[in-house]
Amino acid sequence: MNLTFRSTLQLLLVLVLLYSKHLAQLVDLLEAGKLHVAIDPKRFVGIDAVADAVEYLQSGSSSGKVVVQIAKELPPMAASAL
């Protein structure tokens, strides 16, 4: 299925409308410090690393969300958050 930009936005809007109550609860928990997102410390950088990241995720070795940093370098503000 080929999603156009418009249909992608429509889908996103529908999801937000359907799950807005749940999203609001998640945001409240996050802001209250009661929800913690675990991000696996292993780094994957570049589009070429996507296959390795998926393999790592499927191996069961990850200890949280597996993130692929697409850009080779992060903007200074984003880099300081890591």
Whether pTM > 0.85 for this model: the answer is no
Round to whole Å and give the CA distance between 53 and 66: 7
The model's pLDDT over 22-71, given as tens digits with 9 standing for 90+, comes to: 989 988 998 999 988 899 999 999 989 999 999 999 999 999 999 999 88
Round to whole Å and give the CA distance between 41 and 66: 8
In terms of pLDDT, which residue wins out, 64 or 80?
64
